[in-house]
Amino acid sequence: MSQAPLKILITGQFGQVSRELQLRLADLGELIVLGRDQLDLSQPEGIRQRVRDLRPDLIINAAAHTAVDQAETEEDLAFAINARAPGIFAQEAASLDIPLIHYSTDYVFDGRKDSPYNEDDEPNPLGVYGRSKLEGEQAIRAVGGKHLILRTSWVYSLHGRNFLLTMQRLLQEKPELRVVADQIGAPTWAGTIADSTRTIIEHWRNGDPGAWGTYHLTAKGETSWFGFAQEIGKHLLAQDKPCSILEPIPSSAYPTPAARPLNSRLDCNKLEHEWRVHLPNWRDALIECLAPLA
């Protein structure tokens, strides 16, 4: 027996995760994809009215103020989009008795732990971006209801602005390139996040969901930004393209307006167990992401 089509509201029209969601969820029903031109996330009443007009079956909030350094000088905007808007979505989702899926970040942690963070570890963000994302999580939890907060890290894709695309360009332009080697995490393809979200939605629709709440969602394995750059360089060389000589440097040699956590590793065992999500190794996911360019 076929299932009724879903009406899914997705925010962040041109964002990395939103683009991949649009590809992977298209056959589930009607996707209502809203960018900033259609929905200003800094205007709470506009959010409320749009959700009430649309009456979706599921809300996926893939929009965020993700410019980490810029957030330091745009605190009000970052908190409006990353903190207050998620709370509004949670309230409206609860009133409709529908699920909300929201994406958060490793930046809610300070990176001082020696091992991967699990969901019960105490957050301690280092900057405005992390604080605003943490407040968004707290706003959703305060509402309760059917919600999933999925923390991820080091997101990349073939769209938008991200480390992969920046490195592909710089590695071909510069003879030498210095890259930070003391920040450790798991590069996570936006396609992996979208695939995992699809799996979650299917379990929910089949009446076999895991527990609602907060989960970690990254690729498996770990590396540094330097190691990620090395892997990107290998793919360029395999295509006979030029590639810089890479030099590892500490974070202290590359100061930025916002501090970054040195340890961005997230333990994803809870998500894999509760929602039966298969997460690939980060190198395998990178190969899959780059396949269209091969």
pLDDT tens sequence across 178-197:
999 999 999 999 999 999 99
Question: In this structure, is residue 181 part of a structural domain?
Answer: no
| Whether residue 61 has pLDDT greater than 90 | yes
Say whether pLDDT at 2 is over 70.
no
- Residue 233 domain flag: no
On whether residue 239 sits in a domain, the answer given is no
Annotated catalytic residue 129: yes
Boundaries of domain holding 11: 6-161+188-219+265-280
pLDDT digits (tens, 9 = 90+) for 239-258: 999 999 999 999 999 999 99
pLDDT tens track for 41-57: 999 999 999 999 999 99
- Position 170 in a domain: no
Number of Cβ within a 10 Å radius of residue 87: 20
Instruction: Give a yes or no: residue 286 inside a domain.
Output: no
CA distance 153 to 161: 15
Q: What is the pLDDT of residue 288?
A: 96
Residue 1 is assigned to a structural domain of this protein: no
| Catalytic residue (choose from 129, 156, 215, 254) | 129
Pairing of strands 176-180, 100-105: unpaired
Least Cα distance to 216 among 142, 107, 112 occurs for 107
In a domain, 273, yes or no: yes
Domain assignment present for residue 246? The answer is: no
Q: What's the average model confidence in pLDDT over 202-225? A: 96
**What's the predicted TM-score (pTM) here?**
0.96
* Number of separate domains in the chain: 1
Specify the pairing of strand 213-216 against strand 147-152: parallel
Query: What CA–CA distance (Å, rounded) separates 11 from 32?
Result: 8
Residue 119 to residue 269: CA distance in whole angstroms? 10
Q: Which residue has the tokens 């695309």?
A: 165
pLDDT of residue 162: 96
CATH number at residue 131: 3.40.50.720
